[in-house]
Amino acid sequence: MNTLNDNSGWPSAAAATLDCDLSRKFVRVLRESADGLVAFEFAIGWPDLSVELAMPKVMFEEFCIRQQVQLLTDHDPSPMLEQTHDHNGDDE
């Protein structure tokens, strides 16, 4: 019997938390407006589960420093995929 799945086929809460590192924080910039607002996605633990926020550029930069985020781009694969394949993320 697979204890990581319930009868619905979805992973149980216990399985879902196995790969979640709450110390990892992610930001993906979506757009910058002409009036200086930066719209971005912010995620904790899982980069694919995020909230969309917007703030002035100076506040955004301070937020990123304070939260020690990993900046993602549209071309970045999910860091969780990299972690599962034991990729260290260094450019070659």
In the chain, the number of structural domains is 1
Per-residue pLDDT tens over the stretch 2-34: 455 556 666 665 555 557 899 999 999 999 999
Q: Domain limits at 49?
A: 23-84
- The DSSP line for 28-77 is EEEEE-TTSEEEEEEEES-TTSEEEEEEEHHHHHHHHHHHTPEEE-TTSP
Whether the model pTM is above 0.85 = no
The C-alpha R_g of the chain, in whole angstroms, comes to 16
Within a domain: residue 6? no
Q: Is the pLDDT at 85 greater than 60, yes or no?
A: no
Within a domain: residue 60? yes
Within a domain: residue 38? yes
